[in-house]
A and B are shown apart, each in its own frame.
Chain A
Amino acid sequence: MYPSSFDYLKPESVQSLFEMLSDNSDQHVEFIAGGHSLIPMMKTGLAAPDILVDLSDISELYGIESNDNSTTIGAMETYANISRNRAVIENCPVLAEAVSLIGDIQVRNRGTIGGNLSHADPASDPPAAILASHSTLHVQGPTGKRTINQDDFFTGLYETSLEDGELLTKIEINNIGTGAGAYLKKPSPSSGYAMIGTAAVLHSNNGIIDSARVAITGAVDHATRLNGVEDALIGATVTHESANNAANHALDGIEDTMLMEDLQASSEYRAHLIGVYAKRAVTSCIDRLS
């Protein structure tokens, strides 16, 4: 299985990447990070770039750094590195849990957080973790840098708000501090992708939940927050009863026609799983808070 022919570039900085590409505006360009979505697509002909730009030599796309408020992860960091990093485990436990459940050892050794989020697979784990965490995505394009709030990043099936030619460079995630987080997943028995994956992050004050973020992946065309569950949790007590009540709102705002349906799971089953996993993820956070 060979991909179609392409030109291969390996820049050593983001700046030189955009300089290399400045004369190629009419060409189909793909950035390759870990390549664990792109190479299979190139082998089957779903992607056939004229130019492949390998990001692996760009040192500014690596690194994991924490300060008092946030943890910043370079786009080229692998799932394996992220899942084993002490700062991530401590400050962004939901992401650490989500990436540790992706694929298998070999996939986690190659797949990267930047590639994952940019690809925006509807059943991938990290997007839900990013939505449930307070995150800022740093991107750079030929004309400069900008940031994207996590809620504005995923826009559809394999669609993000990245403009053509823009590159995700790093992901900044607010530290969880005294809060609690969880990521729970029901994987497809064959592919391992999420039939439902649910990330939750709760904070409380004197036994009352004062912030709640709950997001799902695998059920609709892109990772999305469960606003009904979040609204029901804010102001509620740190108890299992609050988790049960909130889970009753899991399908608020999710129409039947939005639910994915495939050989693995019907839309009815996915709807059921959203409620079950919302309850489990929130309950797990509550157990960790109390």
Chain B
Amino acid sequence: MSEHNITLQVNEIEHRLVVESRKLLVHVLRDDLGYTGTNIGCESSLCGACTVHLNGSAIKSCTILAVQADMANITTVEGLAKNGELHPIQSSFQEEHGLQCGYCTPGMMMTALDFLKHHSNPSRDEIREGLEGNLCRCTGYHNIINAVESTANKFKGNASGGSA
């Protein structure tokens, strides 16, 4: 067994901890650091419930070892709202009823934000394709697409709001 000292910057807070080499990032985020907004779904990089941002890009935190993320900047869903105010994508999911049970929602939002960084004016088909790595078993996806489309429109109206 090997253990390693690592430093993770999570939602702008620095955490220093010791992890076993085989420990996955999602477990460190949830169990060691308490960021339980990141969910565990399939644990096989299919469902996207564990999606977080690693140095600004959406990744599945069940398919990276915590030790691989040493010195990285990580954003979880808890890092989206600022000063008690919802991030535009969070309010869009609320307004468009883009969730039912909510289990997939953190991952959906983290993936959608990465997608919107590269697609400022997406079609609905492009949004569907962009979210292909995130599964939802409740909504049938329509309201999720609506929420992402609404977020894109908010970003267009406020060019400064485009990143998480």
Interface residues of chain A, those whose CB is within 8 Å of chain B, are 1-8, 32, 35-36, 39-40, 42-43, 52, 54, 56, 80, 84, 103-107, 109-110, 192
Contacts and interface: CB of A to CB of B under 8 A. Distances in A.
Given A8-B21, A106-B48, A54 B60 contact: no
Interface residues of B, number: 33
Nearest to A78: B57
A56 B65 CA distance: 12
A262 B54 CA distance: 36
21 contacts: A1-B24, A1-B43, A1-B62, A2-B23, A2-B27, A5-B2, A6-B22, A8-B21, A36-B63, A39-B24, A43-B43, A43-B44, A52-B21, A103-B133, A104-B134, A105-B58, A106-B51, A107-B60, A109-B57, A110-B60, A110-B63
A200 to B, nearest CB: 23
Contacts of B48: 104, 106
Contacts of A110: 59-60, 63-64
B65 A35 contact: yes
Given A2-B22, A5-B1, A104 B133 contact: yes
Closest 8 CB pairs of A and B: A104-B133, A8-B21, A109-B57, A5-B1, A3-B22, A1-B43, A7-B2, A106-B60
B20 interface: yes
B120 interface: no
Nearest to B52: A106
B45 interface: yes
